[in-house]
Structure 1
Amino acid sequence: MKIEDYTVLEIFKNVSFTKHELSIIKDRFEKITLKKGEILLDSKNTCKNQYFVYSGCLRSFFVNDDGKDFTTQFAIKDWWISDYISFFKNEKTVMSIECLQDAVVYRLSKEDFEFLCLNVPKIETFIRNKLQNAFASFQKRILEYLSLSAKDRYYNFINSYPEINSYIKNYHVASYLGITTESLSRIRKMNIKS
């Protein structure tokens, strides 16, 4: 099913397209509606898609051999999400993606992604900029994890993503921050008393 012109323009903000380019792009995306709790991607396959979040909230997570869950990313409106290791390197998926709040996402396959980058160069520039920003954010997160206290990581999280913090569960936030839910509760109590 083709997506609408206005949806393409929302996905690729601040990029102008010709009518011909719009028609090429619209054929490449597939709309998916998800309910809270649904798994969009499980860690048993190779990830062949990336997803643009039109509405709702999703998270990517990894489960280690001991069954411990680690949230690696949250994604809300206007964000992209995938298992990028699997998507770009064609390796087995290690991440899963769960819907935390009813969502509408637009799926773009790797094949269609490559096609669009070749046939609509503006998209390659747009995606490159998005990936550069994402890489910088992941690197910043690693540095914060290595150098900041749990309390400081939490404050950075709520200041950076206030809209996410308001509707996700404590254990997802704790998992993202690399702390226990008990530690998160203590930090929040200290914040209330301050």
Structure 2
Amino acid sequence: MQSNHSIFQEIFVGVSFSNEELKYISKVFKKKHYKKGTIIFEQNDVADEMLYIYEGCLRTVHLDDSGKEHTIQFAIKDWWITDYISYFTNTKAYMTLEALEDTTVYSLTKADKELFYTEISKVQSFIIRKLEAAYAAFQKRIIVNLSQSAKDRYLTFLDTHSEIEKKLKNYHIASYLGITTESLSRIRKELYNS
């Protein structure tokens, strides 16, 4: 079984810590397990945790006024996820966070994050780099959704998320792409028959 110290070295790749710093990290990062189907927080809750996925798969989903689901993000091993609007602004979440399979995470509350940055300042630049990459990925996703056909969005999804595509239900993928499950089936049939 892997020790917490080696797990934290795995999470914060490229950052070296003293034993004292690793002890502190062990205090602020809480290991949690979620069963498939667990709702971690719901739309309109306040999301006060940022989660690092150690194993499993989570998704954020927004339910619009008509009751339609819009999957915003999938997260697998070595990804971070939360409702960042809620987490950073202490407002109600726009999204629900759901476990799509049994998942183990390391959770960092907003209050602990502020102390964490103060106690171990070198982590702040690591987190900023991760958030910059996430921000760039979200911008790319917006551009793809606005400018590509449904078929091209699916091909981009396969290119970006090939390691999880088989784990997801069709309606999860369709809601991520902004199409119906019937459209997704048509696109797949067209691709596999060509």
Do both proteins adopt the same fold according to a TM-score greater than 0.5, normalized to the shorter chain? Answer: yes
Residue of structure 1 equivalent to 2:83: 83
Q: Counterparts of 1:58-97 in structure 2 under 5 Å?
A: 58-97=58-97
Other structure's SS at 1:171 match: helix
- After superposition, give the CA deviation of every residue in 1:127-183 in whole Å (9 maximum; x if it has no partner): 000000000000000000111111001001111111110110010001001111111
| Alpha-carbon separation, structure 2, partners of 1:74 and 1:45 | 19
Q: What amino acid does structure 1 have at the position aligned with 2:152? A: D
Moved over 6 A (4+): none
Q: How far 1:87 moved relative to its partner? A: 0.3
Write the distance in 2 (CA, Å) between the matches of 1:192 and 1:171. Answer: 19
Partner secondary structure for residue 182 of structure 2: helix
Q: Name the SS of the counterpart of 2:168 in structure 1.
A: coil
Partner of 2:168: 168
Could you tell me how far apart the structure 1 residues matched to 2:85 and 2:44 are? 14
Shift of 1:9: 1.0
Distance (Å, rounded) in 1 between the aligned partners of 2:19 and 2:44: 39
| 1:192 has 2:186 as partner | no
Is 1:45 paired with 2:45? yes
- Take 2:64 and 2:155, find their aligned partners in 1: how far apart are those partners? 26
In the TM superposition, what is the alpha-carbon distance from 1:88 to its structure 2 partner? Answer: 0.1
CA distance in 1, matches of 2:186, 2:16: 48
| Equivalent-residue separation in structure 1 for 2:40 and 2:7 (angstroms) | 21
- Residue 44 (structure 1) shift: 3.3
- Aligned residue for 2:163, secondary structure, equals helix
Q: Report whether the alignment pairs 1:101 with 2:101.
A: yes
**2:13 counterpart residue number:** 13
Determine what percentage of the aligned residue pairs are the same residue: 49
**TM-score for both structures, normalised by structure 2:** 0.96
Moved more, 162-171 or 39-48: 39-48
Mapped to 2, the partners of 1:38 and 1:46 lie a distance apart of 17
**Runs of at least 5 residues in structure 1 that lack an aligned partner in the other structure:** none
Tell me, yes or no, if structure 1 residue 125 matches structure 2 residue 125. yes
Query: What is the DSSP-based 3-state SS (H/G/I as helix, E as strand, rest coil) of the residue aligned with 2:92?
Result: coil
Q: 2:159 maps to which residue?
A: 159
Task: Please give the alpha-carbon distance, in whole angstroms, between the structure 2 residues aligned to 1:132 and 1:19.
Answer: 28
Match of 2:149 in 1: 149
Aligned residue type for 1:150 = A
- Tell me how many residue pairs correspond in the alignment: 192
